[in-house]
Amino acid sequence: MLSVQFINENKERVIEALKIKNFDGKEIINEIISIDQYRKDTQKNLDNSKAQMNTISKEIGQFFKEGKRDDAEVAKRKTADLKEDIKTMEAKLNEVQDHLSKLLTEVPNVPHVSVPAGKSEDDNEQIKAGGQTIKLEGKPLPHWDLAERYDIIDFKMGNKITGAGFPVYKGKGSRLQRALINFFLDEAQKAGFNEVLPPFMVNEDSGFGTGQLPDKEGQMYHVTEDNLYLIPTAEVPVTNIFRDEIVKAEDFPIKYTAYTPCFRREAGSYGKDVRGLNRLHQFDKVEIVCVEHPERSYAMLDEMVAYVEGLVNKLGMQYRIMRLCGGDLSFTSALTYDFEVYSAAQEKWLEVSSVSNFESYQANRMKLRFREEGEKKSQPAHTLNGSALALPRILAALLENNQTPEGIKIPEVLQPYTGFDIIK
């Protein structure tokens, strides 16, 4: 979340910038500033009352020593009144602080100056396109038909076992899925990301720390009896490794990668846009997470974007990179680049990765700070993450774009992982 200090020092800038996200922040920003001033005034009065009570308490002892019992009794009544005032002010201060904290969670992150205006994904800005144009002969089959023909993914079986959005991978489909996971993890480690295997469920504090709670509570699977949430992405547990931590500036950049299954309730409506692997309730993903110095976080964002671009190039994908407009930018992100790969069979672009800089927004929620060498004061770090990569649509595009009359060819970089070069 934005800090109160940042809002106080940049009021007009925050209000104007939030308009890019189509968020009218004037009223809530003014309320935050007003409540914060009331909090400061109350704290000042509380401190003065405590100081006054300490002074009078010392005087009481002196009065008794000097035999001034009446003066001591008067002073004792004053301290009793001050104690009641202090109790009232402390309760009010806690109430005000809770209200202020709640308001701060309702304000989105300020978008980066490069974020274009817009209301939806239709207004996103293409910044680059690459890869070889995919051209298939005849009438290519979509991946759900290929999955059935080659018996590698069973959507009906998944629906029987669990429900829609939970496919069963079979045979070479399973091996191809595992090959992609291992390939992405190996590539991440080569790029300096340290692998971790985090829990697949998180507590409420972790969900709040990265911004999924309360903003996306309805999209997460909730284990009510234990008050735990199935993770929608490895971003949540991995970034929360650093919750309530003070890291050393000399350790930057701190780079982690993790494979996890991901669980999301918002599978969407019926139709071709969500058919097959296009949108699932459970899917596999390899995530990259970085904690970085604020002065270098955008250089790191560029590095992470280049890294993901390298992955799609190695897989032989036709792709484009989109800078998200304000209306499509997430609540917590300052700047996000989406990667889309082209599906020649579906004749559409499929989103396979989002790479984002959250600046200090998540760090403020998590109390993640860093300290420069030799400095006593700490400050919020910047956090970044990206899908590297999400598997369902990558797999869909791989199956569709590599289909031939002989079978589905496997990209060369994956063959050492699959142990085969074609699915017949």
Task: Please give the annotated binding residues for ATP, written as ranges.
Answer: 264-266, 351-354
The whole-angstrom separation of Cα 391 and Cα 353 is: 10
Contact 126, 321 (CB under 8 A): yes
Question: Contact, 341 vs 350, CB < 8 A?
Answer: yes
C-alpha–C-alpha distance, residues 301 and 314, integer Å: 20
Give me the amino acid identity at 345: A
- Could you give the residue ranges of the DSSP H alpha helices within 153-257? 155-161, 172-190, 204-210, 235-239
Phi/psi of residue 131, nearest 5 degrees: 85, 165
Q: Which residue has the tokens 């669990």?
A: 162
41: CB partners within 8 A, 6+ apart = none
Annotated binding-site ranges? 233, 264-266, 287, 351-354, 385
Kindly give, in sequence order, each residue whose CB lies less than 8 Å from that of residue 43, ignoring residues fewer than 6 positions away: 93
> How many Å separate Cα 116 from the centre of its chain?
21
Report the candidate in 280, 256, 245, 264 with the shortest Cα–Cα distance to residue 197: 256
- Residues annotated within the binding site for L-serine are 233, 264, 287, 385
Three-state SS string over 172-184 comes to HHHHHHHHHHHHH
Contacts 24+ apart (CB under 8 A), 402-409: 402/316, 403/136, 403/140, 403/141, 403/146, 403/345, 407/150, 408/146, 408/150
Beta strands in 48-156 (DSSP E): 125-130, 153-154
